[in-house]
Chain A
Amino acid sequence: MAKAQSKSLFTADLVVPAIKASFLKLDPRELVRNPVMFVTAAVALLMTILLVIGQDQLAVAFKAQLAVWLWLTVLFGTFAEALAEGRGKAQAASLRATKAELVAKRLKGDGRDHDDVPASQLRVGDIVLVETGDLIPSDGDVVSGVASVNEAAITGESAPVIREAGGDRSAVTAGTRVISDEIRVRVTVEPGKGFLDRMIALVEGAERQKTPNEVALTILLVGLTIIFLIAVGTIPGFASYAGGSIPVAILAALLITLIPTTIAALLSAIGIAGMDRLVRFNVLAKSGRAVEAAGDIDVLLLDKTGTITIGDRQASEFRSVGGTSDAELAEAALLASLADETPEGRSIVVLARERYGLYRAMPVDAEVIPFTAQTRVSGLRYGETLIQKGAVDSILRANDGSGTTAAATELRRITDEIARAGGTPLAVAKDGRLLGAIFLKDVVKAGIRERFGELRTMGIRTVMITGDNPLTAAAIAAEAGVDDFLAQATPEDKLALIRKEQSGGKLVAMCGDGTNDAPALAQADVGVAMNTGTQAAREAGNMVDLDSDPTKLIEVVGLGKQLLMTRGALTTFSVANDVAKYFAIIPAMFVALYPGLGVLNVMGLATPESAILSAIIFNAIIIPLLVPLALKGVAYRPMAAGPLLARNLALYGLGGLLAPFIGIKIIDLVVGGLGLA
């Protein structure tokens, strides 16, 4: 997650606008979205009014300081939110600039001439021409042509990607630049609804809606505020029984220290920063809900290729049959692969060289037989010789119709062995004679087994999805350490598996790119679509990975968990803080009524005024002190819930209990030293 932590939080270009914005956010219409901070602002206003017209024995300087610190409490909260929004705003501004300059070459009915129109006038179904150097004006599908496209504006990745008509690489995104060739693109979205618009809205936080957990937490915070309003609001009655009265300013101060201002001030900043972390990680979540769901994931469906194994299979062995020697097989395989530019083909050449020291140039009269999906066989013909290489069934059919010869039986045995060992067999025949099989091995990514182990301790099951046969799949699954696998998986199988897991109460995450992945992406609780994928896939998923790296699914889960943990940790911290604040204010408030209550002043705070002021100051400055934690998120390490809870409870629960005792004491010493109260 190195990418996510590149930029410092407190740079002038972020802090200065945030300070300005924190004042603008004092608008009551905006404040009311955060009820706890709204109450705080109302109390700060009350304190300001009391300062002017108040009829009590309190010193004006004391009340003035209380008023200032109450306003600062509110401002620290709005500052935290503004700072969290800041980075997104800067990014949104540059995206907006890109969007403003988009012009489309809209093709006329004849399909040859075109008008230049602003991109905002395009409608679904329009066909536009995009030539070398042009920005693609709208999201759409390539209907003809092939082009290399620089998508850096969206992904930050400057290496160009190929976009072509048909297949799974047909989707293009507005704002990206064609750097060679030309394509015709059919517009698939209405203006203002494209990927670029969504991204702007997202990074800017304009459409930010509270996520389910955030809503629930807000309710809890409001509930606590009401309970503390009751607790504080009834004190005058009790005090009057004891024959005294408590100044309103003191009650107001007590209320603010008790209500959960810390978490309330940081709550929206935590949410924005969580989304922002994801954006900087080059994953776009279409809603905050999706990010939270990521934290709740129980089952991860991972495609084998590219996620668990490196994309390409490597030849690892030659296994001959009949009287053929392994070297003879290797030579035939080498010749058959000379023209094969696929990674598999190249690996065969390399293996033959390394294992048998074979070097062969292409024979002069050679004729290459290319691989086709129908024959599933490729090869080389030179002179009278024909070498064939391909799928076992196809080779057998072409060379030994009955498949009952000794060589055929042996070949079948060997290929079964290869499959069982997690490999893919390729059969080789020369002039109608079966020579043997090449063992193509799936190479499991380094470190992936440990990752799955971590996921297991976190209670997350991993399921490998592969088109391989069950034997091969089982072998790779065992090697990679996944918990389960789905072999010979069709898109329907995937969808059925997701539904089955979900009916058992599990939350499922998957990633995909093809059009046929779309139903499963939509069904999954977290569906991460690859940016290189089709428009359908990108529409169906609730996240888009701009880097198109399926392994990131694992990190996305981590980011979701980190977001929830940060919220929980700061809530716990905030509530635990109250204990110390009580010990500061209760004796200060009541000592005049019952001098004996002075013993509750366990911190030994200098005077009642100083105690109250110190508690209010602590309550205010803890907010900016926690801003870095809120924005960066709490330290996250994959582990089981039990130890994780123990660790966080000790850190934020116990820490939250003890920290304010120390903090308030220190502030009291400073307040006393400066003669502030």
Chain B
Amino acid sequence: MTFQGWFLILLFVGILLALTRPVGLWLHALYEGRRTPLHVVLGPVERGFYRLSGIDPTVEQGWRRYAIHMLLFNTALLMLTYAVLRLQGVLPGNPQGLAGLSPDLAFNTAISFTTNTNWQSYGGEGTMSNLSQMLGLTIHNFLSAATGIALAFALFRGFARREAKAIGNFWADVTRITLYLLLPICIAYTLFLIASGVPQTLAGAVDVSTLEGARQSILLGPVASQEAIKMLGTNGGGFFNANSAHPFENPSALINFVQMLSIFAIGFGLTWTFGKAVGNTRQGWAILAAMVMLFLAGVTVTYAQEAAGNPILHSLGVAGGNMEGKEVRFGIAASALFSVVTTAASCGAVNAMLDSFTPLGGLIPLFNMQLGEVVIGGVGAGIYGFLLFAILAVFVAGLMVGRTPEYVGKKIEAREVKLAVLAIAVLPLVILGFAALSSVVQPGLAGPLNKGPHGFSEILYAFTSAVGNNGSAFAGLTANTPYYNALLGVAMWFGRFFVIVPMLAIAGSLAAKKYTPESAGSFPTTGGLWVGLLVGIILILGGLTFLPSLALGPIADHLSMIRGQLF
């Protein structure tokens, strides 16, 4: 590890902490439906949408209606994308003349982008036409992100409101978030990326002669615009197969740094928005503190492991850290940081090959996702997932102060506990269940590239990434098979909506409750004790659930490496 490496990491966190309040304030304006400076320009557009669709944004919805509208909206978009991908061959905007996708790949991809996962069983440049990228996929990059943030708003309202039936209007939330947050930032961000050399064109490939005289076809496309929302909306689906390791997606160390910032910016801001919404910004900072602690712990492990490198190579006389699968323009620190950022937030973009990481270096991205994508997490999804853990933490330890557990003024009772357990149990059920299945059936066993614990890690990582709606790939797994496409598709759907529906039910249940004023006898949810408790509960719950699988995957891999055996 180097001083520059740590400087980079701490600078990164420092900038984000500085951004938290401004971003949070902006989000809070949208949360409350307040006027922003952008309303001068975009207000008419927003009202135009409502007029066209016949939606009255002032009519609020109860949690059931909110959930149903959200599900209908997402299902409709899913079907649109499925159709676009299947019909790609006959649709325009296809300069390369690519064929339509197979049913299983289209199914997998449509779910993947709808659920903000952006798992890609395919290589982007050789599979997707420009129309598919823009209409089929980029639209989800915006709307799945907006959906996530809207859902977080709905849960915030559950905590903030008193004896209320409604938790907001889904359509108004999604429209405002898209119009006043995602679009404006992405426009500026895209221009910045273009200025930095990221391509933005509707043309197909450029044919060039290389220095050796060979002819090479270099693919171009509307990369910059997709890149912006890919990061900001924690989507992570690359235009190119190499994702953010590709020089057109991520040309320089500076762009790499900005991209990492943009992955976390909204996630950091939302914690502040939560605090503001429940009337005490320290509540938000406490959550952020717990998230940042978990994040920095992860970065430390991965960075240390990657910088230490592989002892077997050392014994062969290759000194230094582990540079296998990393881009030289980023180096070890930025690659380690990027991999932890992208898996902590459910972004899933990669700028280095995780399969080539040291076993423990690669364990952290895996564990980040197994914790439920709550370390910052996906936009919106991170904080609502985290709040589910907070509910459990309050319940387990809250009784110890001799009162019915309360969190930000709301009593946590049987219904909330039941729903939170339901939402959290989906993760291990699908991750471990599908991974176990794939470890025994033939189509599952055909997937991994490597043998032994490393091969198992590849399977485990794929399902973890899918359920966590992360979308990053450990690589090594041949996932574009009907078996994996179908199973991963189902996993992504469960990982998203089987968490969301109970979560919204909690929002509805909390909104209906009375407010319990805080007193000296209330369970403290702002100080260091609470932060430590949150970290402890998340680590213990996640650790206990996944330790057997981790032991047989990365941990066994690591211990074998120390003993001189690689897989």
State the A residues within 8 Å of B (CB).
212-213, 215-217, 219-220, 222-224, 226-228, 230-242, 258, 292, 295-296, 298, 456-461, 504-506, 560-562, 564-565, 567-569, 571-572, 575-576, 578-579, 582, 586, 590, 593-597, 599-600, 636, 640-642, 644-646, 648-649, 652-653
State the B residues within 8 Å of A (CB).
162, 392, 395-404, 409, 412-414, 416-418, 421-422, 424-425, 428-429, 432-433, 435-437, 439-440, 445, 452-453, 455-456, 459, 514-517, 519-524, 527, 529, 533, 536, 540-541, 543-549, 551-552, 555-556, 559-560, 562-563
> 20 extra interchain contacts, Cβ-Cβ under 8 A, other than A240-B439, A457-B520?
A215-B414, A216-B417, A223-B425, A227-B425, A227-B541, A231-B548, A238-B552, A298-B519, A459-B519, A459-B522, A571-B396, A572-B400, A586-B548, A586-B551, A593-B556, A594-B453, A597-B555, A641-B520, A644-B401, A649-B400
30 A-B residue pairs with Cβ-Cβ distance under 8 Å, sorted by A, are A213-B399, A216-B418, A219-B417, A222-B421, A223-B418, A223-B422, A223-B425, A227-B545, A230-B545, A231-B548, A234-B436, A235-B548, A237-B435, A295-B403, A295-B404, A296-B403, A298-B521, A461-B519, A505-B515, A560-B402, A562-B402, A568-B401, A572-B397, A578-B540, A578-B544, A590-B551, A596-B563, A640-B520, A641-B521, A642-B524
Q: Whole-angstrom distance from the CB of A345 to the nearest CB of chain B?
A: 43
B547 near A582 with CB under 8 A, answer yes
A568: chain B residues at CB < 8 Å are: 396-402
CA distance A238 to B552 in the complex (A): 7
B521 near A460 with CB under 8 A, answer yes
B416: chain A residues at CB < 8 Å are: 216
Nearest B residue to A636 via CB reads B402
Which of A212, A234, A504, A640 contacts B521, CB < 8 Å? A640
Nearest A residue to B401 via CB reads A641
CA distance A596 to B359 in the complex (A): 14
Q: Whole-angstrom distance from the CB of A388 to the nearest CB of chain B?
A: 50
A237 near B436 with CB under 8 A, answer yes
Number of contacts between A and B (CB, 8 Å)?
A: 223
CA distance A241 to B422 in the complex (A): 29
A645 near B400 with CB under 8 A, answer yes
- Of A238, A295, A569, most buried by chain B (CB within 10 Å of CB) is A238
- Of A237, A460, A571, A582, most buried by chain B (CB within 10 Å of CB) is A237
B556 near A579 with CB under 8 A, answer no
B544: chain A residues at CB < 8 Å are: 228, 231, 258, 578-579, 582
B402 near A459 with CB under 8 A, answer no
A564: chain B residues at CB < 8 Å are: 399, 402-404
Q: Whole-angstrom distance from the CB of B460 to the nearest CB of chain A?
A: 8
B400 near A242 with CB under 8 A, answer no
Decide yes or no: A653 and B397 within 8 Å by CB, A296-B404, A298-B517, A593-B552 being known contacts: yes
B459: chain A residues at CB < 8 Å are: 241
Nearest B residue to A590 via CB reads B551
Nearest A residue to B412 via CB reads A216
Decide yes or no: A216 and B551 within 8 Å by CB, A226-B425, A459-B522 being known contacts: no
CA distance A216 to B394 in the complex (A): 12
CA distance A224 to B453 in the complex (A): 27
Decide yes or no: A216 and B524 within 8 Å by CB, A506-B517, A594-B552, A594-B556 being known contacts: no
CA distance A641 to B525 in the complex (A): 11
B548: chain A residues at CB < 8 Å are: 231-232, 234-235, 238, 586, 590
5 residue pairs, one from A and one from B, having the closest CB atoms: A568-B399, A459-B521, A237-B436, A561-B402, A596-B559
- Of A228, A459, A561, A593, most buried by chain B (CB within 10 Å of CB) is A459
A644 near B399 with CB under 8 A, answer no
A258: chain B residues at CB < 8 Å are: 544
B559: chain A residues at CB < 8 Å are: 594, 596-597, 599
B429 near A641 with CB under 8 A, answer no
CA distance A593 to B559 in the complex (A): 12
A562: chain B residues at CB < 8 Å are: 402
B395 near A231 with CB under 8 A, answer no
CA distance A640 to B520 in the complex (A): 6
A459 near B552 with CB under 8 A, answer no
B432 near A230 with CB under 8 A, answer yes
